[in-house]
Structure 1
Amino acid sequence: MSFKKNKKTYKNGLLEESLMLDVYLFVAPLGKPCMRSEKVMMEFVHNVDQKVSFQIIPMLNMQLVQDYLHSNDNQSYENYNALAEDMYHLILDYKAALFQCKRDGRTFLKLMQTELNQKGIVYSQSLGSEIARQAHLDLEMFEVDRRSQLAKDSFKADQQTALEMNVTSSPSAVIFDDQADECGILVENFSDDVLQQICQDTDCPLSSSISFTHPTISFPHVL
């Protein structure tokens, strides 16, 4: 899906000119900021009144690898190529998990990120297999799918989607009202503060499309 008109970009909390809701959250496969952004967006999806089509799309490019390599989150990698390869294989594992069920795929990603980001464990193929078991995946199917051409093609399609939506940084979100797909919002450096601004900013084309009947999330303006 590409932007056509009325695009607005929120960057560092500032509005820049740019409903079942279509929500795409673009994240690097490693890093605590991405885990936090996933939690914020999942809370939003579960609390908003509107139906939401939600996808977590992992990104991989040279800049993201360099950013993680030199970040405080990195406690394990010194070599760019080793990190890039592990990120790629992690994404393929996630795609294989998604082939079985979206919910199980997200469970797999959450469990994997906990091991890698919070416990400091280095990715390995055997770790992927263990996380698949914990996520109650069909292990035989997972082992076949994780290195399949289908998983690789799905990865390439995700990177193309990021390119078409002008997503270059992580975490970023793209939100569409499916009744007005010419209107899209790109949210760079996604966080709960920026999501609050989207919901309450009357200049935002989606603010009138988002409502909370019984909110449980800690966004002050919707309590």
Structure 2
Amino acid sequence: MIEIYLFVNPLGSICLDIERDILSFAQAENKKIQLRLIPLVNMKTIDGLLSLYNIPSHDINRRNQLFEEIYSASLDFKAAQLQGKKKGRHILLNLQEIVGEAGSVYSPDLAEKLIVESGGDLEMFRSDRQSPFVKESFQIDQQIAREMGVSKHPSAVIYNYACDRDFGVLVEDYLSIDHIKQLCETSEENYIHFHDPVQIAKAHEQSVPKGHLHLL
């Protein structure tokens, strides 16, 4: 079995691209692949977004707005997941598409519209969305990220038990579907080969600086 922990911005288009690629890859493969999507928000991710959007780092109002919107969208996702993985993914991917790709404004009303579109129970969603359980679940996700050394998105941690390995591999900054596929190889030779950033660079004809691939 293969486990993939994918840490994402629930309103980000870049994260949406890799999610789509991984979901398509998982559906096409005969291997048993378990994908866990984890919303991530911290000071470093907010700093990264400010830089991406060319917003001055000292713009406190915009910083707070970004944090609140991403945190709110994360709770939307966690609440929707309580009604099933499909409904959770429906909200997550559509929030990323509508807000991240199309540039629409995020709002709680948008999340409620999406839960209805998915066939979910709106009253249950509203209740769960405000519950301590959902907020605690979000905090647990952030703790998982800290324990795995993840501080930015998109990042992925892959556990490939088919190779008889009990450690995970963290890939960040240069995350692509090619990296995911390589780490999902059941060939021991290929799996070990991928642990060396120099070999990654040769395989993908790109520069992958040391420090962006870690064993956990």
TM-score normalised by length of structure 2:
0.78
Q: By how many angstroms is 1:185 displaced?
A: 1.4
1:172 matched to 2:155? The reply is: yes
Query: Amino acid of the residue matched to residue 198 of structure 1?
Result: L
Q: By how many angstroms is 1:205 displaced?
A: 4.3
1:121 matched to 2:100? The reply is: no
Q: By how many angstroms is 1:169 displaced?
A: 2.1
**Mapped partners of 2:34, 2:177: distance in 1:** 19
User: Where is the helix percentage greater, Structure 1 or Structure 2?
Assistant: 2
Runs of 5+ consecutive residues of structure 1 not aligned to the other structure: 1-19, 208-223
1:204 matched to 2:191? The reply is: yes
Q: By how many angstroms is 1:30 displaced?
A: 2.5
Runs of 5+ consecutive residues of structure 2 not aligned to the other structure: 195-216
Structure-2 change in CA distance of 1:104 and 1:153 (3 Å): same
**Mapped partners of 2:119, 2:54: distance in 1:** 28
Q: By how many angstroms is 1:170 displaced?
A: 1.0
1:183 matched to 2:167? The reply is: yes
Q: By how many angstroms is 1:193 displaced?
A: 3.3
Structure-2 change in CA distance of 1:196 and 1:52 (3 Å): closer
Q: By how many angstroms is 1:181 displaced?
A: 5.7
Query: Amino acid of the residue matched to residue 127 of structure 1?
Result: L
Aligned residues: 186
**Mapped partners of 2:84, 2:165: distance in 1:** 26
- The answer as to whether partners of 2:158 and 2:183 remain within 8 angstroms in 1 is no
Question: In structure 1, what is the equivalent of residue 177 of structure 2?
Answer: 192
Question: In structure 1, what is the equivalent of residue 34 of structure 2?
Answer: 53
Among 11, 20, 42, the residue aligned to 2:23? 42
Q: Which has the higher contact order (CA 8 A, sep 6+)?
A: 1
**Mapped partners of 1:73, 1:23: distance in 2:** 31
Q: By how many angstroms is 1:199 displaced?
A: 5.2
1:22 matched to 2:3? The reply is: yes
**Mapped partners of 1:192, 1:203: distance in 2:** 16
**Mapped partners of 2:80, 2:165: distance in 1:** 29
**Mapped partners of 1:95, 1:127: distance in 2:** 15
1:89 matched to 2:57? The reply is: no
TM-score normalised by length of structure 1:
0.75
Give the alignment's Cα RMSD to 1 decimal.
2.4
Q: By how many angstroms is 1:196 displaced?
A: 4.4
Indicate the percent of aligned positions where both proteins have the same amino acid: 37
